Structure 1
Amino acid sequence: MSSHKAAAVVPIITSQVERLAIIDAPKEAHQHQHHIHRLIRKYSSEKDSDEDNLSDDGNDDACCPRSPVTCGPSPAVEKGHGLSRLLRNNKAWSKAIRERQPDFFEKCSQGQQPKVFWIGCSDSRVPENELLQLAPGEVFTHRNIANVVVSTDLNCLSVLQYAIDVLKVEHVVVCGHYGCGGVAAALGDHSYGLIDHWLGNIKEVKQQHREGLDSIQDTEEKCRALVEINARNSVLTVAKSPIMRAAWERGQEVEISGVVYDIKTGLLSELGYHVKSEKDLNAHLKVESKDLFANRAQ
């Protein structure tokens, strides 16, 4: 593998294994380096690499296991199949975790106790566990196009209810992100088919804040503003739900916050929308649209 490819792969592996804080004790330096180099070979993007086409134990079929219960009639996938590569990556990842903490997956199988419920965009560039530096089991997640929360979406509300009533999360985070394709599409007047129905929710937010948005001349900056306002709207919709109001009434401590992710920098910023009570909600609802744009550079 070339040096620049190796450099690109190392952060991926370390982010999946080491920085998830599941390591009880550091390995010896030479053992650690050997382990990393072996994983680099597994994650190499060179399809013709001999190492990439071999499983850890030399068994070609071992990298693409079949479920013993629901084994379907389709033939086994070959080495060049896209699914084969995904399964090999998963095998390498699982093995790396187990080598560092043998009982990690056993503990995961016993249940989840996340403190954070994340409502984000489906965009593949916004991986919540990665950017929050949290391990599997620490973030409960719901994602959709443009992180929209509406009172008629039973899918989102069902996940919210489970997060609040069953998992007892302490923080609901609504995350928008700059460069959001759904928000950009909602700014225009083009038709995209079925997704127009979903984008209608963002268009309503745009209409509610049209004066402030129209005062922004730069198209990219206008899109960034709508990303923030759309996240704010989702925060308030969560806060207005019967689920949240019932939780606060019974004294459950849970806060809703709005953040935005900048894909260009990899950084999160808080938006100043924090709601942890009915009183906070009422205060946010009293803020006029023009005041939300007061500090934005023209």
Structure 2
Amino acid sequence: MAADTIHTKETFTTTTSSTENITTQVQALDIKNPHNHHQHHHHLLHKYNTTETDEADDDDDDSCCARSPVTLGPSPSVAKEHGLARLIKNNRAWSKAIKERQPDFFEKCSQGQQPKVFWIGCSDSRVPENELLQLAPGEVFTHRNIANVVVSTDLNCLSVLQYAVEVLKVEHVVVCGHYGCGGVAAALGDHSYGLIDHWLGNIKEVKAQHQDNLDQILDQEEKCRALVEINARNSVLTVAKSPIMKAAWERGQKVEIVGLVYDIQTGLLGELGYHLKNVEDLKAQLSVDSSTLFAARDTIANTRS
């Protein structure tokens, strides 16, 4: 795989919603087999309707709330807190809206899941995978932790990976980092944060492997962005090196590992250039050294300026 594809310009855009009429037009991320679109539930995500009574009850709560395209709940940008009663009310409205569109949706969901995507992401509340991919419940199997770190000793993550690959037969394992990641930013510094230092140590090891090239980036924000990318790359490689993936590829299972990065400031996903479909792809990535990776970043930055 070419090393100069560390961060391509290709992006996936999410759909937009209108605050005024609270509507949404949902498009699926074209990461699945287009012939299986009839199995998806994107059509469930439609205009949010309330009764007159509900609207009256919501006047003091939702006057400034944009509606989330997928969850139909208040926008995360709202600066006021909502108690448990508000959360339960949101859930009731969400369930009602879906049932009105497809009465048997939850009954079908209760019978099992067949997601094609396994998402390994950050626990950051601003990176909700179903929402930014515009996929409905049942379409994304998920594991999240601080800074989307995958290490060979994390039995939690590896157990979820094994279930996703061997039982659910997912076709895409997506490792997604995000710019503005607090965990990555913390790993760049030398401060002690207590228990989490043990976890951040995994990112610090990645930083140490690329220290010389990171030191050449003077802008701290850009340095953090670079570490976000190579940290996600490291997790991609760790997944690919796992016995789980090795066994899957040996038996001919078609499952690829994809590296993505999410830009919170734009709402866009970008490819990191990693599409590992077999052991040969893994070997090619392992042969790419740090200097080559950072040279590729410089090339892309120059083409954008």
How would you bin the TM-score normalised by the shorter chain?
0.7 to 0.9
Matched with 2:112 is 111
Structure 1 ranges of 4+ moved more than 4 A: 36-40, 42-45
SS at match of 2:252: coil
Matched, 1:137 2:142: no
SS at match of 2:173: strand
Q: Match for 1:231: what amino acid? A: A
Instruction: Indicate how the Cα distance of structure 1 residues 218 and 167 shifts in structure 2: closer, same or farther if over 3 A, else same.
Output: same
- Provide the C-alpha distance between the structure 1 equivalents of 2:57 and 2:295, rounded to a whole number of angstroms: 48
Cα drift, residue 81 of structure 1: 8.0
Any stretches of 5+ residues in structure 2 without a counterpart? 1-17, 27-39, 64-80
5 Å matches for 1:1-298?
7=19, 10=22, 21-23=42-44, 35=49, 41=55, 44=58, 46-47=60-61, 82-297=83-298
- Provide the C-alpha distance between the structure 2 equivalents of 1:21 and 1:197, rounded to a whole number of angstroms: 40
Cα drift, residue 147 of structure 1: 0.2
Instruction: Indicate how the Cα distance of structure 1 residues 257 and 81 shifts in structure 2: closer, same or farther if over 3 A, else same.
Output: closer
Q: Match for 1:235: what amino acid? A: V
How many residue pairs get aligned? The number is: 253
Q: Identity across aligned pairs (percent)?
A: 74
Cα drift, residue 7 of structure 1: 2.1
- Provide the C-alpha distance between the structure 1 equivalents of 2:56 and 2:158, rounded to a whole number of angstroms: 40
Cα drift, residue 274 of structure 1: 1.3
Cα drift, residue 254 of structure 1: 0.3
- TM-score, normalised to structure 1, is 0.78
Q: CA RMSD in A?
A: 2.8
Q: Match for 1:158: what amino acid? A: S
Cα drift, residue 22 of structure 1: 2.9
Q: Match for 1:151: what amino acid? A: S
Instruction: Indicate how the Cα distance of structure 1 residues 14 and 40 shifts in structure 2: closer, same or farther if over 3 A, else same.
Output: farther
Cα drift, residue 20 of structure 1: 5.4
- Provide the C-alpha distance between the structure 2 equivalents of 1:184 and 1:200, rounded to a whole number of angstroms: 12
SS at match of 1:107: helix
SS at match of 1:294: helix
Instruction: Indicate how the Cα distance of structure 1 residues 23 and 153 shifts in structure 2: closer, same or farther if over 3 A, else same.
Output: closer
- Provide the C-alpha distance between the structure 2 equivalents of 1:160 and 1:20, rounded to a whole number of angstroms: 24
SS at match of 1:296: helix
- Provide the C-alpha distance between the structure 1 equivalents of 2:58 and 2:226, rounded to a whole number of angstroms: 39
The answer on whether the counterparts of 1:235 and 1:258 sit within 8 Å (CA) in structure 2 is yes
- Output one character per residue of 1:223-272: Cα deviation in whole Å (capped at 9) or x when no partner: 00000000000000000000000000111010001000000000000001
- Provide the C-alpha distance between the structure 1 equivalents of 2:50 and 2:269, rounded to a whole number of angstroms: 29
Instruction: Indicate how the Cα distance of structure 1 residues 275 and 46 shifts in structure 2: closer, same or farther if over 3 A, else same.
Output: same
- Provide the C-alpha distance between the structure 2 equivalents of 1:95 and 1:150, rounded to a whole number of angstroms: 41
- Provide the C-alpha distance between the structure 1 equivalents of 2:229 and 2:82, rounded to a whole number of angstroms: 40
Cα drift, residue 40 of structure 1: 8.0
Q: Match for 1:288: what amino acid? A: D
Q: Match for 1:242: what amino acid? A: P
Q: Match for 2:60: what amino acid? A: E
- Provide the C-alpha distance between the structure 2 equivalents of 1:214 and 1:110, rounded to a whole number of angstroms: 52
**Structure of larger gyration radius:** 1
- TM-score, normalised to structure 2, is 0.77
The answer on whether the counterparts of 1:212 and 1:290 sit within 8 Å (CA) in structure 2 is yes
Cα drift, residue 37 of structure 1: 7.2
Instruction: Indicate how the Cα distance of structure 1 residues 139 and 9 shifts in structure 2: closer, same or farther if over 3 A, else same.
Output: farther
Matched with 2:36 is none
Cα drift, residue 41 of structure 1: 3.0
Cα drift, residue 43 of structure 1: 9.1
SS at match of 1:245: helix
Cα drift, residue 48 of structure 1: 10
- Provide the C-alpha distance between the structure 2 equivalents of 1:174 and 1:36, rounded to a whole number of angstroms: 37
Cα drift, residue 44 of structure 1: 4.2
Cα drift, residue 8 of structure 1: 6.7
